[in-house]
Homo-oligomer: A and B are copies of this chain.
Amino acid sequence: MTEVIQPAIETVTIDVMLSALADPVRLALVRAFDAAGDWTCGSDVLKDTGATIAKSTLSHHIKVLRDAGLIRTRVDGIRRLVILRYDDVEGRFPGLLAMLREAGPARPTVEPPAAAT
């Protein structure tokens, strides 16, 4: 299995971390990866969140989360497995993940028809 390159957690600034988390779908994914606590398939986790987004959009979100130091990704055949970098994130921004667990729901993650953005 090949692990995708990810940033050293020390290079991640708080604004980059918050930008990654500010999207309702990405936030739902992070919460699901946090709850899983082990390597999981991004597509499977996405289904569990109830978000309805295209596969390409999921890939984009996964990349944003990885670039922000939140997750590791590894390629396993045709699957991409993901795990939350819990210890890294907790070490860099103590209390962030605990706060997210308690923060209540985000806005609905069902995308509106195109043209809204």
Contact = CB atoms under 8 A, between A and B. Distances in A.
Interface residues of A, number: 25
A105 B13 contact: yes
Given A95-B99, A99-B94, A99-B99, A107 B18 contact: no
B99 A96 contact: yes
Nearest to A96: B99
A62 interface: no
Interface in A80-117: 93-96, 98-100, 102-107
- Oligomer copy total: 2
Contacts of A107: 13, 15-16
B13 A22 contact: no
Contacts of A105: 13-14
A19 interface: yes
A19 to B, nearest CB: 4
A95 B27 CA distance: 17
Contacts of A18: 18, 21-22, 27
Interface of A: 13-19, 21-24, 27, 93-96, 98-100, 102-107
